Amino acid sequence: MNIGIRLNQDDFFYDLHSLVKSFFPDDDVSIYTDDDAGKAVLPRDLEILVEVPAYLPDERKAVKDGLKRELYRLLGDYTGKELPWGMLSGIRPTRIPMKLLAEGSTEEVCVRHLMEEAFVSEKKAHLAVEIASRERRILEHVPLGRKEYSLYVHVPFCPSICLYCTFSSSPIGLWKKKADAYLDALILEMERRYAGMLQEGRSPGPVSVYIGGGTPTSLSVEQLERLLAAIGRIWDLGSTLEYTVEAGRPDSFSEEKLMVLRRHGVNRISVNPQTMNDETLRIIGRQHSAEDTLRAYEMARRAGFENINMDMILGLPGEGAEEVRRTLAVIEALAPDSLTVHSLAVKRASRLKQNILEDREQDEGADRGVFRGYSLENSPEMMDLAEEAARRMGMAPYYLYRQKNMRGNLENTGFARPGRECLYNILIMEELQSIAAFGAAASTKEVYEDGRIERSIAAKDVNLYIQRIHNSFD
């Protein structure tokens, strides 16, 4: 379908567009004003007219919520659908109960608020409130003052690029030589900016460290040693509560690399299968098998890691409940310490989205929610299977976020055994602490005491990043 949203003025574009897209994920949705002549005269299968009333600046939120409520009811009647997260878009679902709980509301009041004000389903409302309560309990023991921060270091290389990837990552095979130049720039940036942070009165050590990407373990043993040694030399990690390396891809593991991580105090890693079905792994462009994941996991346990996370994705090409059950059965047998369940997001910049668009160019009538004949299906039932498996492993949900264009309009949820929750994930989601981020595409976030947040993002392109760092600090 070709759907238009026509407004009387240029306002609330993002929120209204996201809400309509949630009802029609695979359709073309355009938003425009009466004055936008080109778009306003195009023929549409469905055109929604929205009248934005005049309002004072402090009425903006109420007006926006009112419009979204009306639109949600209208589209609900039209499609016969109810969305699991109701009209929530552009906000992390846990934010609302976090705020209400901080103001003294009970959990029951928070659940009712989400259901009545935002049309969130009862199940998802309970999930959001359970997570918010748990986050609050975990954060009670974490220093959150202005001088505190967490550290993020980006390694933009992977063994191969996954079909759905939109992270800033390049295949290490092609960038082997550049990786050393990248580390030179990254270490220079960390040294120089750290000196500046100390002058500003920031703490000499981060609350948590997260090395992500990309796949940091795509670096060679020597490169990994160099990076971790530099982090340990620059920062005081004596009081750091958590040190994560997103090892991620089983095809990047070796015993020597794991020993480098252990030697430098890394106490949490991820071994991310995404799926335990070899055919799906091939389709999504991974160069490892399910068997490799088992080997990597065992290797990590043998190396002494006591906090191992596994990531899985629901909605991968061709996977339904049966495939999800199979993946969960293998994960349960391994018994990791945490499980992060993602809903596949089909993002514009991914190869997956490009391929879907190409399919449509070749065949006008092609099903828009399908990739090369494979379904891309996620459902509340599949999410339930994952949640039930996590709870059977003694885990509880502890963080949650949503992205645009997620299959089934669902969510990503992190489950963990008590005490094995990833603090960095909570801090970054709830935006309660500054993140000092280093490397290409890394996003530094300054959180001020009055709640103000400033962000700055480094150059995504690795060559440009290297050049800029040398221009700024040499």
Binding site for ligand SF4 (CB under 6 A): 158, 161-162, 165, 167, 169, 213-215, 248-249
- Smallest distance from the beta carbon of 137 to ligand SF4, in angstroms? 31
List 154's β-bridge partners, or say none: 212
Q: Least distance (Å) from ligand SF4 to the CB of residue 132?
A: 28
d(CA 250, CA 290): 9
Minimal distance in Å, beta carbon 8 to ligand SF4? Answer: 41
* Nearest-approach distance from CB 254 to ligand SF4, in angstroms: 17
From the CA atom positions of the chain, what is the Rg in Å? 23
Q: Which amino acid is at 227?
A: L
Nearest to ligand SF4 of 115, 290 (CB atom) = 290
The nearest distance, CB 111 to ligand SF4, in angstroms, is 34
Closest to 76 measured CA to CA, from 126, 29, 19, 32: 19
- Contact residues for 105 (Cβ-Cβ < 8 A; gap 6+): 113
Q: CB-wise, 275 or 434, nearer to ligand SF4?
A: 275
SS3 label, residue 446: strand
Closest among 447, 425, 448, 445 to 134, alpha carbons compared: 425
- Give the Cα separation of 307 and 422 in Å (integer): 9
Distance between CA atoms of 358 and 364, rounded to whole angstroms?
A: 10
Q: Residue 296 Cβ, how far from ligand SF4 at the closest point, in Å?
A: 13
* Residue (20 or 356) nearer to ligand SF4, CB: 356
What's the Cα-to-Cα distance from 270 to each of 291, 348, 463, rounded to whole Å?
16, 26, 28
Question: Hey, is 295 helix, strand or coil?
Answer: helix
Distance between CA atoms of residues 70 and 49, nearest Å: 12
The residue among 415, 445, 442 whose CA lies nearest residue 430 is 445
* CB nearer to ligand SF4: pick between 234 and 294: 294
Please give the helix or strand (H or E) that residue 47 lies within, else none.
strand 46-50
Is 131 or 281 the residue whose CB approaches ligand SF4 more closely?
281
153, two tokens: 């270091």
**Closest distance of CB 345 from ligand SF4, Å:** 11
| Residue number, 31 or 344, with CB nearest to ligand SF4 | 344
Cα 213 to Cα 96, 144, 165, 238, 440: the distances in Å are 29, 25, 11, 25, 10
- Tell me phi and psi for residue 295, to 5 degrees: -65, -45
State in angstroms the smallest separation of the CB of 214 from ligand SF4.
5
Nearer to ligand SF4 by Cβ, of 97 and 248: the residue is 248
The candidate with the shortest Cα–Cα distance to 100, out of 91, 90, 109, is 109
Q: Which is nearer to ligand SF4, 161 or 294 (CB)?
A: 161
Which residue lies nearer to ligand SF4 by CB, 131 or 296?
296
- Beta carbon of residue 97, minimum distance to ligand SF4 (angstroms, whole number): 30
**Closest separation in Å from C-beta 123 to ligand SF4:** 28
CB of 198 or CB of 457, closer to ligand SF4:
457
End-to-end alpha carbon distance in the chain? 55
Distance between CA atoms of residues 439 and 183, nearest Å:
9
Tell me whether residue 193 or residue 402 sits nearer to ligand SF4 (CB atom).
402
Cα–Cα distances in Å, from 227 out to 123, 179, 182, 219, 247?
A: 43, 11, 11, 9, 14
Q: Rounded to an integer, what distance in angstroms lies between the CA atom of residue 368 and that of residue 370? A: 5
Identify the bridge partners of residue 256 per DSSP, sorted by sequence position: none
Distance, in Å, from the CA atom of 425 to the CA atom of 40, rounded to the nearest integer, reads 43
Least CB distance to ligand SF4 at residue 275 (A):
12
